[in-house]
Amino acid sequence: MRRAAETMRAWPSAARWPVAGLIPFGWLFIGMLLMWAGAVPVGFLLAIFVGIPSTVWYLNWVQDTHAAWVFPLLGLMIAATVVGDLIFGHVTVHHDHGYDPVPSPLVVTPAYWQAFGGLLAALAVTVALAVVNGERHRGRYRNVARNFALSGPQRRNRCGMPARAPSHRACPAGAARPARSRPSRPA
């Protein structure tokens, strides 16, 4: 995984940007195509459980975006998949009003198509913003979770710098000491 990310990171940004947009839309398209063909559960699960992790992996490891971009992507991908399932999944509804318990196909109105188009547009904008964020902060977010998990929280000395050794007490030249807050005393 790391080697693949390093290889893709070497691509020019003009090639990385379209790939970042094509990953979620590719998995959504494959999922919708399978739903339309009749394999609704497979298409739904593929769009959700392969599309979201692959998009987040690409954005975090290749584009170097912040890990918090998973939340808007998660919401938009799930919503787009559900609305796409309603459109392409041959959904049946039960009109159980006492006179017709027989299932009938869901009537897809233009509102469904508008909601689907709006969710896809919002997904495209979100991926574009995540890519811009990653290009702007190149290297700042690299493997934040992995480094934290391997090294644990770092101790800091009184200058706010990472403590390298117990004997490292002096602040480097030019480093300002953070203001200390005194605990409030009851009157």
- Provide the strand spans (E) within the chain: 92-94, 103-105
160: in domain? no
Number of H helices, E strands in the chain: 7, 2
Count of structural domains, the chain: 1
Q: What is the pLDDT of residue 34?
A: 92
pLDDT at 80 > cutoff 90: yes
List the domain range (segments joined by +) for residue 113: 2-92+104-147
Better pLDDT: 63 or 178: 63
Helix (H, G, I), strand (E, B) or coil at 162: strand
71: in domain? yes
132: in domain? yes
Better pLDDT: 65 or 118: 118
Torsion angle, alpha carbons of 8, 9, 14, 18, to 10: 50
Cβ atoms of 77 and 87 closer than 8 Å: no
127: in domain? yes
180: in domain? no
